Amino acid sequence: MKNYEQIAAILKALADPKRLKIVDLLSTADSLCACDLLEHFDFTQPTLSHHMKILEQAGIVSVTKKSQWSHYTLQEEFVGEFLSALKEFLLKETAIR
């Protein structure tokens, strides 16, 4: 059975252009510090923190604290599982053609 709630939470998190850009930036690095992510945006650290919390709750990123900064990583499992779920969800064989 599909977990529609989880898929909806992921799609909702990715629907924001800023969060989509964050995921894109994280996809090119092992891990990025919040300070590095902030260089790509014109908003404050609390705003970044808000966006990251949404991505973390959706299971898209993980966070580790190092001194005063948070470091974010794209969840490896998320990428594979989400692509599989989308493929299963959107590319079904149907009797109606």
Tell me the per-residue pLDDT of 21-39, one tens digit each, with 9 for 90 and over.
999 999 999 999 999 999 9
Q: Look at residue 44 and tell me whether its pLDDT is greater than 80.
A: yes
Give residue 78's pLDDT band: very low, low, confident or very high (50, 70, 90).
confident
For 35, other C-beta atoms within 10 Å of its C-beta total 13
User: Could you tell me which residue, 83 or 60, shows the higher pLDDT?
Assistant: 60
What is the CATH number assigned to the segment(s) 4-88? 1.10.10.10
How crowded is the C-beta side of 22, counted as CA atoms within 13 Å?
34
User: Can you give the pLDDT at residue 97?
Assistant: 47
Average confidence (pLDDT) over 53-81: 91
Tell me the per-residue pLDDT of 15-24, one tens digit each, with 9 for 90 and over.
999 999 999 9
For 10, other C-beta atoms within 10 Å of its C-beta total 20
Sequence ranges of the domains in the chain: 4-88
Containing 32, the helix (H) or strand (E) segment is: strand 32-33
How crowded is the C-beta side of 30, counted as CA atoms within 13 Å?
0
Structure tokens at 89: 């969800």
Task: Tell me which long-range contacts 62-65 makes (C-beta under 8 A, separation of at least 24).
Answer: 64/31
